[in-house]
Amino acid sequence: MLAEGMRRGERLIGMHFFNPAQRMPLVEIIRRETTAKAVLATALGFAKGTGKTAVVVRNREGFLVNRLFIPYLKEAFWLLEDGATAAEIDGAMVEFGFAMGPLALVDMAGLDILVRTDLVMARAFPRHGGISAIAAELVQQGHLGQKTASGVYRYETGDYTPRQSEVAERIIGEVRRGRAGSAGTVSSGGRIGQDEITQRLVLRMVAEGFCVLEEGIVQRRSDIDAAMVLGTGFPDFRGGVLRYAEDLGLGRVVGRLERLAERHGQRFAPCRLLRESS
List active site positions: 16
Contacts of residue 255, defined as CB under 8 A and 6 or more positions apart, other chains included, come to none
Reference 111, options 139, 92, 75; nearest CA is 139
Question: In angstroms, rounded to a whole number, what is the distance separating the alpha carbons of residues 135 and 151?
Answer: 9
DSSP code at position 59: S
Within a 10 A sphere around the Cβ of 61, how many other Cβ atoms? 14
End-to-end CA distance of the chain: 38
Reference 149, options 135, 159, 138, 136; nearest CA is 159
Reference 200, options 102, 60, 273; nearest CA is 102
Question: In angstroms, rounded to a whole number, what is the distance separating the alpha carbons of residues 36 and 75?
Answer: 38
Question: In angstroms, rounded to a whole number, what is the distance separating the alpha carbons of residues 127 and 123?
Answer: 9
Reference 146, options 136, 157, 137; nearest CA is 157
